[in-house]
Amino acid sequence: MKLIIHGGFFSESDQSHEVKVAKQKSLKNIAQKAFEYLQSHSAFDTVAYAVSLLEDDPLYNAGIGSQIQSDGVIRMSAAIMNGETQKLSGVINIQNVKNPIFVAKDLITEDDRVLGGNGAKIYANENGFEDFSTEIPQRRKEYQEKLNNGGKGTVGCVAIDKDGKLAVATSTGGKGFEIPGRISDSATVAGNYANSFCAVSCTGVGEDIVSNATATKIVTRVTDGMTLENAFTKTFEELKAIDGFAGAIAIDKDGNIFHQDSYPTMVFASFDGENFEIFN
């Protein structure tokens, strides 16, 4: 049993040392809570739980930490994928729910598993998700001042459970000040992908991740026999060719954990019950 989580990027030039320390503490705490949860739950349930904790922390750009779009509205996207069944479900540009990842998780049993905009919100309301404003004063201040607070980013979790099953979940509040209706990578197989061989969650510039098909490439290459590290190396070389900005976390079927970013520093933490690895 192992897991790894990410919370976007950190920039020394845009964020303080205090914020860095706060993120390190937060990620360690969430990784530990998620690992404890993994002891008695599947990887699929665990990744949703871990991402919900990240959504609940305003340090990250997801859930209540979400950025505001150019029209002053928060729209969020999230997806989850079960490596065993290879089913993905997600929501795109959903508004006014506390945890988009739980709406995405509920959709896994539906025939129509990816919903967007108003349709996603109607589904959430019909399935017991209460209205919840994810806006916090700091986000409104940033929006009004037209400051895109650097170092924010998508959140995600990859886990392997005691049965060797893999799962991944990813959630984002967007990039801030984008054109309304813009779709990121998070609820697509470019940013969130898993099968029985490997699971990957991405963060960074969604357009770059989609153009590079980052998560899908890594998982496919591992499935075809590449080591996890080599699959990352080749995929990030291709990302570099388009000057892409991305980071990714992954676990393969043998429990190997790997992470890489094209521009430092992706914030992440991994835990296997004994050893923590946390960004520095």
pLDDT tens profile 17-40: 999 999 999 999 999 999 999 999
Average of per-residue pLDDT values in the chain: 95
Q: Shortest CA distance to 248 belongs to which of 170, 145, 176, 184?
A: 170
Q: How far apart are CA 221 and CA 198, in angstroms?
A: 9
Beta partners for 276?
Answer: 271
pLDDT at 238 over 90: yes
User: Is 71 flagged in the annotation as binding?
Assistant: no
pLDDT at 149 over 70: no
Give the number of other CB atoms < 10 A from CB of residue 111: 5
Q: Based on the structure, what is the number of domains in the chain?
A: 1
Where in the sequence is the domain holding 250, given as residue range(s)? 2-278
* pLDDT level of residue 150 (50, 70, 90 thresholds): very low
Average pLDDT over residues 132-142: 84
What is the structure's pLDDT at 241? 97
Report pLDDT digits (tens) over 163-180.
999 999 999 999 888 999
Average pLDDT over residues 210-218: 98
Report pLDDT digits (tens) over 44-82.
999 999 999 999 999 999 999 999 999 999 999 999 999
Report pLDDT digits (tens) over 190-209.
999 999 999 999 999 999 99
What is the structure's pLDDT at 249? 98
Average pLDDT over residues 147-162: 77
Q: Could you say which of 134, 154, 170, 214 is catalytic?
A: 154
Average pLDDT over residues 219-247: 98
Percent of the chain with pLDDT over 70: 97
- Return the higher-pLDDT residue of 215 and 177: 215
Structure tokens at 129: 């998700």
154 given a catalytic annotation: yes
What is the structure's pLDDT at 152? 54
Q: How far apart are CA 272 and CA 194, in angstroms?
A: 19
CATH number of the domain to which 147 belongs: 3.60.20.30
User: Is 183 flagged in the annotation as binding?
Assistant: yes
Q: How far apart are CA 202 and CA 69, in angstroms?
A: 21
What is the structure's pLDDT at 146? 57
What is the structure's pLDDT at 151? 44
User: Is 113 flagged in the annotation as binding?
Assistant: no
Average pLDDT over residues 215-223: 98
User: Is 155 flagged in the annotation as binding?
Assistant: no
- Pairing type for strands 266-271 and 76-82 reads unpaired
Give the number of other CB atoms < 10 A from CB of residue 100: 34
What is the structure's pLDDT at 153? 72
Q: What is the DSSP string of the chain?
A: -EEEEEEEE--TTTS-HHHHHHHHHHHHHHHHHHHHHHTSS-HHHHHHHHHHHHHT-TTSSSGGGPPP-TTS---EEEEEEETTTTEEEEEEEE-S-S-HHHHHHHGGGSSS-EEEHHHHHHHHHHTTPPP-----HHHHHHHHTT---TT---EEEEEE-TT--EEEEEEE--SSSPPTT---STTSTTTEEE-SSEEEEEEE-HHHHHHHTHHHHHHHHHHTT--HHHHHHHHHHHHHHTT--EEEEEEETT--EEEEESSS-EEEEEE-SS-EEE--
